[in-house]
Amino acid sequence: MNQPINQLRKQHGYRLLTAFLALTCWIALTPVLFGQLTITSNTTQNGGVLNIPNAPNTLNISNVGNPLLTMTNGASTTQTNRVNIGNQAGHSGSLLLEQGSLLDIQGGAGITGVVSIGQAFGATGQVRVRTNALLRGEVNGASVGVEGIGELIVEQGGRMEGRFLGVGDGEGSQGTVLVTGANSRIDLVAWNNFESLFRVGGAGLGTMIVSNGGQVTTTGDGEVGFTGQGILSLFDTGSAITVGETFYVGRGQSGQGTATIAGGATLTSHGGVIGAVNSSNGPGTTGSVTVTGTGTTWINNGELRIGTAAFSFSEPPDFPSSGSLTVTNNASVVNSDKLLVGHLNSGTMTISGGGTVSAIGNDVNFPVAVDLAGGKFSSATATVTGANSALNANGHLRVGVQGNATLTISNGGVVNNHDGMIAFSQETQSSQSSVLVTGAGSQWNNSGNLYVGGNFSHVDSTQFGGQASLTFRDGGLVRSQGDTGIFIFQQSILTGNGGIVMGNTIENRGVVSPGDSAGTMTIAGNFFQNDTGTLLIELGGLAQGTEYDHLIVTNQAFLGGTLAVSLIDGFQLGHNQVFDILTSGNVLSGQFMGLDDNALVGNFNGIDLFIRYAEVPGPAGNGGLVRLYTAIPEPGSMMLVSSLGLFILLRRRKLG
């Protein structure tokens, strides 16, 4: 008889144990239902302490009637794990912190301390912090637009502190953060081993606006457009955002980020990335940053990449990312490391309206300050236009490294750098890139040498050499102050009309084409053309420098290689015509291959064209001249023409 009783006791004990464990799990997993305070109507806590039962626990502000909790005159709460504002579909809620009040969300019992604003899908929430009040989430922070619609306003000297700020976190969510007014600020600091971070546009739509002296700081990263759409606006003098690590605009997969810094505001970061894809699958990522207005500054104390990837491609990506940077209206960007435009992806940089970008490449072993299209399958476009607009690089400027790049300097824009390189090749990936310098006051100043084409060894190679084009016209100036000067390598071309290229020696191993159609090119320095070089001359009429090409060399011309002559614009040669195609400040040295003095250059529609090398007087001594000319018809030919003309005249008179 004792055995059934013992079995009954044993079964009863199991049931008690099971019930106890279930109750324990229920308590641990559902803290919102145990020890919480839910605000369902307008409530004011005027000083003192707002008591949350069984603290630490949860404060909810949510109902269909949009209840408002106002904490004023130094009010505070008992220890709080979490605050939910608008945590049911169709509900809304608002919180106002003012007059030195404190809402401290400390976390505990395995729950991260966070305020969730617009917690549930279909819900809305708003938090306003002002007049020396403080919203603190030490363990985590604030999520504005979790699945619903959320808004956080920090104004009139209000403050928010935490580790994390997410704006538009969940898919389909909308979040907005406004920090405005002097002494209004958000400060994000790492907690334990967790870095601080603000993320605008996590998976939804996020907007952050900092204005009128507002401040946002994070010791970690700042992200605008992670996998959603992020919009950041920073404007007004005294307004600032400080990012202790990397500032990302367009990051992740399918992220779309847009940032505008304007009106004298300052952004400071340790690194910058604009348009960075992190996967080869799915849609790409886009990012754009505009820095505009006098006194507006982005100070980036690290590397800045515009259009990049977190990995290298073995073949062109199906969904490439893109990034763009615009600096205009007297704004400035100061970058203390390499500036990479189009790094493994597509990048664009525009400097206009007196804007300036300064890049300081501080690696002595690899002194590159600016790379355009640096990597396989990359592309880059850079434009520096307008008076006082400048790109300043204290290291090398490389236009096209494996990828294809274009650089345009126009309307008084200026680019300053050490060595300049166009379309450099690496391994079997060859770049096709170009630079155009056009307009009065437009300058490309190289304090070192300038390499047009070639490869990393600065040697000619038809297998690995890049294909480069350098064009200057209409008053544009290209200058090299290096010991050697400017090299035009095989497969590359130098073209100009109405501009000046200046250097110790301009060495042509590729093609030099004065005129850009018919026109005048001025080389301020020596000109040396080796055996692989070609001087391309176009004849379109009899007017020097406007109808046919004219190359002016201020110092000495060393001739070799090929002279290629072509007729343009329907022009036909006639007898007794002269074309002075090259003049030099010193006597000529050498001749074009196969063309001795008075040699035949070619026959054009029955008219022979010859070449003559001459020494002519100049302002500082004798100079050189290369002349092309057609011959006067031989006497026998002239007699035949005259006789034919007389026969026709007599025939007409007889018929008359």
> What are the tens digits of pLDDT across the range 546-562?
999 999 999 999 999 99
Q: pLDDT over 70 for what percent of the chain?
A: 86
Residue 112's pLDDT band, with cuts at 50, 70 and 90, is low
Residues 111 and 256 in one domain: no
* For residues 429-441, average pLDDT: 91
* For residues 420-449, average pLDDT: 88
Q: The pTM is what? A: 0.89
The answer to which of 27-31, 304-308, 363-367, 433-437 has the lowest mean pLDDT is 27-31
Which of 394, 418, 442 finishes a domain?
418
β-bridge partners, 392: 358, 416
Residues 162 and 240 in one domain: no
Comparing 20 with 195, the larger pLDDT belongs to 195
- Coil/strand/helix, residue 635: helix
Comparing 500 with 618, the larger pLDDT belongs to 500
> What is the end-to-end Cα distance of the chain in Å, rounded?
160
Q: pLDDT over 90 for what percent of the chain?
A: 73
The answer to which of 57-61, 481-485, 633-637 has the lowest mean pLDDT is 633-637
Task: Give how far Cα 414 sits from Cα of 104, 389, 487, Å.
Answer: 53, 6, 21
**Structural domain of residue 372, as residue ranges?**
220-418
Residues 390 and 326 in one domain: yes
Residue 643 reports pLDDT greater than 50:
no
Residues 348 and 282 in one domain: yes
Is the bond leading into 633 cis (omega within 30 degrees of zero)? no
Burial of 484 (0-12, 13-18, 19+ CB in 10 A): middle
Comparing 72 with 111, the larger pLDDT belongs to 72
> Does residue 296 lie in a domain region?
yes
Structure tokens at 391: 């790109």
* Residues 6+ positions from 416 with CB-CB distance below 8 Å: 390, 391, 392, 393, 445, 447
- Coil/strand/helix, residue 16: helix
Q: What is the largest CA-CA distance in the chain?
A: 161
Q: What average pLDDT is seen over the chain?
A: 88
The rounded distance, in Å, linking the Cα atoms of 423 and 469 is: 8
Residues 239 and 170 in one domain: no
> Does residue 306 lie in a domain region?
yes
> Does residue 620 lie in a domain region?
no
Residues 141 and 272 in one domain: no
Residue 266's pLDDT band, with cuts at 50, 70 and 90, is very high
The count of domains in the chain is 2
Residue 208's pLDDT band, with cuts at 50, 70 and 90, is very high
> Does residue 650 lie in a domain region?
no
Ranked by mean pLDDT, the top range of 238-247, 448-457, 489-498 is: 238-247
Residues 300 and 407 in one domain: yes
Burial of 311 (0-12, 13-18, 19+ CB in 10 A): exposed
β-bridge partners, 45: 71
β-bridge partners, 370: 339, 397
> Does residue 122 lie in a domain region?
yes
Assign 3-state DSSP to the chain and report helix, strand, coil percentages, each to 5.
10, 55, 40
User: Which of 379, 449, 383 is closest to 414 using CA atoms?
Assistant: 383
Which of 384, 418, 452 finishes a domain?
418
* For residues 415-419, average pLDDT: 96
* For residues 386-401, average pLDDT: 95
> Does residue 389 lie in a domain region?
yes
* pLDDT given for residue 343 in this prediction: 87
Q: In 200-209, which positions are buried (b, 16+ CB within 10 angstroms) versus exposed (e)?
A: bbbbbbbbbb
Ranked by mean pLDDT, the top range of 135-139, 494-498, 516-520 is: 494-498
Residues 59 and 120 in one domain: yes
Residues 14 and 116 in one domain: yes
> Does residue 631 lie in a domain region?
no
Helices within 211-351 (DSSP H only):
none
* pLDDT given for residue 401 in this prediction: 87
Comparing 110 with 313, the larger pLDDT belongs to 313
Helices within 398-517 (DSSP H only):
none
β-bridge partners, 35: none
Residues 146 and 235 in one domain: no
* For residues 109-117, average pLDDT: 76
What are the pLDDT digits (tens) for 569-621?
999 999 999 999 999 999 999 999 999 999 999 999 999 999 999 999 877 77
Residue 635's pLDDT band, with cuts at 50, 70 and 90, is low
> Does residue 152 lie in a domain region?
yes
* pLDDT given for residue 55 in this prediction: 66
Place of tokens 């044993």: 10
* pLDDT given for residue 282 in this prediction: 62
Which of 138, 158, 193 finishes a domain?
193
The rounded distance, in Å, linking the Cα atoms of 126 and 62 is: 11
The rounded distance, in Å, linking the Cα atoms of 422 and 136 is: 53
Comparing 644 with 86, the larger pLDDT belongs to 86
Residues 322 and 233 in one domain: yes
Residues 406 and 265 in one domain: yes
